[in-house]
Structure 1
Amino acid sequence: MLKKIETSEQFAELVNNEKSFFLLKHSLTCPISQAAFNEYEKFSTENKVVDTYYLAVQDARPLSNEIAEKFQIKHESPQAILFANGEAKWNASHWKITNSSLENALKENA
């Protein structure tokens, strides 16, 4: 199940307490982002091994920027990031966010 986050505190709690999780930066106005969100949602429904979170860039721009800066990952939207043991292990953007790419990232990096 997808869970929405909006604050730095929520994100810090995930980084500190979750062994691994995915985060999707989602634009509410972009059709490419909606396609990626649909793939991410499918992955979330089918995969119970890892928790999945998202942020809406328009609602949480400071958090999106903070993540980009802290983990040295250029901001893109849509953008999926796999975090494991407090580090960003994998990321993809735009059309590269698919159910299969998320599954492969999890197998290779978690």
Structure 2
Amino acid sequence: MNWKKLTNAEQIQEIKLLSEEKPVMIFKHSTRCSISSMSLDRLQRKWKDSDAEKVEPYYLDLIAGRNISDLVAKEFRVPHESPQVLLIKNGDVIYDNSHFGISYADLMGKI
């Protein structure tokens, strides 16, 4: 899986613009949380190379970028959770889930 790292506030506007052409997924991951690691692993194991044609995946390290996560929550009006996946289309969140609710099938079914 070829993640783009979400590391600065300017990328949030880039994501909104990109989502008008192609859905964008943001995976918010806590590297200190075993549930987060399991959710990330489950998503990555099901990911197919061809999925990159359907959705642009972004990865947000919550330990390094908690302030970015707070901006994401504010900008997209979705309460912060960890782990959390957001699917953005046309600048709005069309799907979000967290913890063991993060499902590859549900996510891809929304695209």
SS in 2 for 1:70: helix
The answer on 1:22 being equivalent to 2:25 is yes
Q: Structure 1 or 2: larger helix share? A: 1
TM-score when scaled to structure 1? 0.86
| Contact kept in structure 1, 2:4 and 2:57, CA below 8 Å | yes
Percent identity reads 29
What's the C-alpha RMSD, in Å, of the aligned pairs? 1.5
TM-score when scaled to structure 2? 0.86
What corresponds to 1:88 in structure 2? 93
Q: Encode CA deviations 1:82-107: one digit per residue, 9 max, x unaligned.
A: 0001111110000011221222232x
Q: Aligned ranges for residues 27-46 of structure 1 at < 5 Å? A: 27-46=30-49
Opposite residue 34 of structure 2, the aligned amino acid is P
The answer on 1:79 being equivalent to 2:111 is no
Matched positions, count: 106
Unaligned runs of 5+ in 2: none
Unaligned runs of 5+ in 1: none
What corresponds to 2:106 in structure 1? 101
